Each structure stands twice: as structure tokens, then as C-alpha cells.
Chains A and B, each alone.
Chain A
Amino acid sequence: MEYKDYYKILGVERNASQDDIKRAYRKLARTYHPDVNKEAGAEAKFKDAGEAYEVLKDPEKRAAYNELGANWKQGQEFRPPPNWDAGFEFSGGGYTNADSAQFSDFFEGLFGRMRGGGGAGFGGARGGFAGTREFHAQGQDHHAKVVIDLRDAYSGAKRSITLRVPEVDAQGHVAVKDRTLSVTIPKGVREGQHIRLAGQGSPGIGKGPPGDLYLEVAFAPDPVFRVEGKDVYLDLPIAPWEAALGASVKAPMPDGAVMLKVPPGSTKGRTMRLKGRGIPGSPPGDFYAVLKIVVPPADTDKAKELYRQMEREMPFNPRAGLGV
């Protein structure tokens, strides 16, 4: 297990005042809170800061931690602090109450023993909160992300999800275990929507019901389609003559393909709507094809001749509206 420099994590000096520590933690918590900061790694920083603050905000724990210096040795014995109730506040800084169980091995090595030794014990997956006022019999909820393809939102999908779940063994040690779950994603889900799987969180404590599992739906980036809420957009390339004369063109859709009638005289950016062909639901979203005119390259003599012919025979000034 690796030594954690809690002062460095919070960015304060070793002799920082409690106020400095609090300020530094608050600032990090605001910056990296997972509800506020969606960047990768933010949650880990938030948790690190929470763990560091958990120790440094508490003069007892801070003193115990300071005693280690940088030369902490594994197996070193610590006396539980006299003020035992402070130990029950372990979950206070975490993203979920389960977080105290997700504190590092280092933290566990220093302070985990106090929790177990206090007589409260580990009643369930949340770890050691039995007997406190904050005690809930219901198991902890879990939150996770599930990434699906746009196609899956049209048809529904099955996904195998692996969750890292803290479990408590007979010795009262918390170990993180992988639990794999098969989840059916109903059709019609949208980006950012949440799905709840009742009873798939942590087991309840005592006779309490288990917690729930919440999955936030994210779409894998799609090379062809763009999604806005329930609506799906496609940039549909067409040839100049298809735009000018009208045409029936084949366009891809997330759930297949469709023949679209391009009206004569279409211009770039013209949008064709297929009502109700976006992400399914009640009401369903719409599907939009946005026309994009692609100019054929003049890379053969024949093509060049055709362009020259157009130049000669079509009185057309694309800059007529610019006043020059």
C-alpha cells in the first residue's frame, strides 16, 4: 500500500491551519465534484480530496497522521482516538455514503482498524455505521454509466455491466469486488437519461431492502448521425444536379435506410424532416436530413469540359448578392 500525502493532495503546507485546510478542501470539492465536473478523473480527485480532508479536518486523525512523517511502516499499531464518535463521520465528505468504504488501503490501514474496533462492526456493505443517527436500513444506491450506440436506442439492447462493489469480509475488511450484471436497455432511451434497476445496489443492512442501481445513459460518438435530445440529424451529401433537378436518394438511418425525395431547386442546408423517425417514444423524436451539396472534382478532361460548358451556357453569379 502506498503512502498518501494528504497535505499535497489538498495543496497545503504541513503546518496549515484548520481554516486553511477547510478552504483548500472546499475549493477542490467545488471544482471536482462529479455533479459539477464531468471531466475524466474529476471524481477520483474529488474522492482523494475527501479522504485527505477526512483525516486532516479532524485534529485527532491529523495528529496521528503527522506522527507517521513520511516513514510510515506497514503494520504499525495505532491507538483509537478517545473521541470515538468522530469515527462515525467517515462518510461525510464522500460522493456517496459508500465512499468511506472506497477510501484507499492507506486510509484503511491507518483508520480502518478504529472503526472495526469500536464495537459498531460492519453490518453490511456500507460498513460500520450501525448505531449512528444516520443509519439507514436500506442498502446503498450505486451509480454508473452505460455507453450504448444510437442504434441501441432505436431497438433496445442488452449490456453486460461490471460494477466495482465494496464488500465486507468476515474480518471486517472492505474489499472491492467486481460484480457483473446483465442489463436490458429499453428502447427509446436518450443521452443523459437515467435508468433505475430496483434492488441492484448494495444489499440492505439487517433486514433492510437492497439499494438501487442507477445507470446514466451515454451514447458512443457516432460517425454519421448527430443526436439532440430525441431528434437525430444526418448530413446528407448530394450532387449538384440532384439538388438542382430533384432526386430520390438513399439515406442511412440508425435502424436501416430510407429513400428520400430531394425537391428540385434544393440548396445547401435544406433540411428534410421525417416525423417520428427519431428516437422512439411517446412522442418519438424526429429524423432530420440536412442537405450538403458536394461538388464533383474536375479531375478528368471530360469533367473539366462539362464544367466549362456550364460556365459558358449558364448565366450564374454566386456572388450576385454581395454587391461587388
Chain B
Amino acid sequence: MAAKTPEQQPVLVLDEAQEITLAELTRSCQVHSEWVMELVEEGVIEPLQAGGPQWRFAATSIVRVQKARRLQRDLGVNLPGIALALQLLERIDALEARLRAASRPPPPHHAE
């Protein structure tokens, strides 16, 4: 899904289908690979195929790791705290999306 702008800027859409390497993840987030490993250990992010010679991640991991880093740096949250915060934030996002949908005309019951 990479495309070029007229100025030849590489544009990457960070979605589940895009794969990145561990090196790319640490560079993008300016973190050490040790910390990424701790995040994996804690279940904050998951590598695509566990056990492979080289870890690969979905590009969406970039956003998660950056968020984790900000929470740690700005709020002093530790790893389990980060995992919990991200989980709760996702839940809030999902609930808010449902709230938005519900405040509009009837939600569909079933596709045929």
C-alpha cells in the first residue's frame, strides 16, 4: 500500500497488513530492542510469527509502541500499567464508537 507523493515521499499506511521488522520498529519509535522485547513479554504487542529467526510486526505496532513510550515517559507508568492503560483505552474507543452508532437511527440487526 506504499505510494509516492509528488515530492517522492514514501507514504506508509500503518495497518495490520503492512509488515515491519524489529529494526524498523525500534528506529521508528526511537526505543531499544530490549524494551520492545519487554513489551512483547507483557503482551502489549505481538510479533507476527513467533519463533521465526527474525521478529516481524504489523505496522500498527508502531502506533502502540509510541503510545506506550509516551505513557511511560510522561506519566511514569510501568509495563503492566501500560498494558492495562492501552487495553482500557481501546475499550473506551470501542464503547465510544458504539455510543456514536447508537445515537443515530437504528443499528442493523442482521445481514442476510
* Chain A partners chain B: yes
The stretch of A2-10, A107-115, A194-202, A241-249 that contacts the partner chain = A194-202
Q: A95-B74, A235-B105 are in contact. Are A197 and B13 (CB under 8 A)?
A: no
B residues 5-39 near A (Cβ < 8 Å) are: 5-7, 9-15, 17, 27-28, 30
Cβ A184 vs Cβ B14 within 8 A: no
Q: Is A129 on the interface with B (CB-CB < 8 A)?
A: no
For the complex, would chain A's binding face be called helix, strand, loop or mixed by DSSP majority?
loop
Cβ B108 vs Cβ A196 within 8 A: no
Tally A-B pairs: CB < 8 A: 112
Q: B27, B62, B109: which contacts A271 (Cβ < 8 A)? A: B109
Q: B4, B62, B75: which contacts A30 (Cβ < 8 A)? A: B75
Within the assembled complex, what's the spacing in Å between the Cα atoms of A196 and B14? 7
Q: B4, B13, B14, B62: which contacts A188 (Cβ < 8 A)? A: B13
Q: A33-B74, A188-B1, A271-B109 are in contact. Are A194 and B63 (CB under 8 A)?
A: yes
Q: A30-B75, A189-B13 are in contact. Are A182 and B104 (CB under 8 A)?
A: no
**Number of contacting residues on A, CB 8 A?**
50
Within the assembled complex, what's the spacing in Å between the Cα atoms of A217 and B32? 28
| B residues near A26, Cβ cutoff 8 Å | 75-76
Chain A 268-312, CB within 8 Å of chain B: the 1/0 string? 111111000000011000101010100000000000000000000
> Which of the four size classes fits the interface of chain B?
35 or more
| B residues near A281, Cβ cutoff 8 Å | 15, 17
Cβ B101 vs Cβ A29 within 8 A: no
| A residues near B27, Cβ cutoff 8 Å | 138
Cβ B74 vs Cβ A94 within 8 A: yes
Question: Which chain A residues have a beta carbon within 8 Å of chain B's beta carbons?
Answer: 26, 29-30, 33, 35-36, 50, 92-96, 136, 138, 141, 156, 182-184, 186, 188-190, 192-200, 212, 214, 226, 228, 233, 235, 268-273, 281-282, 286, 288, 290, 292
Question: Which chain B residues have a beta carbon within 8 Å of chain A's beta carbons?
Answer: 1, 3-7, 9-15, 17, 27-28, 30, 60, 62-63, 66-67, 70-71, 73-76, 85, 89, 93, 97, 101, 104-112
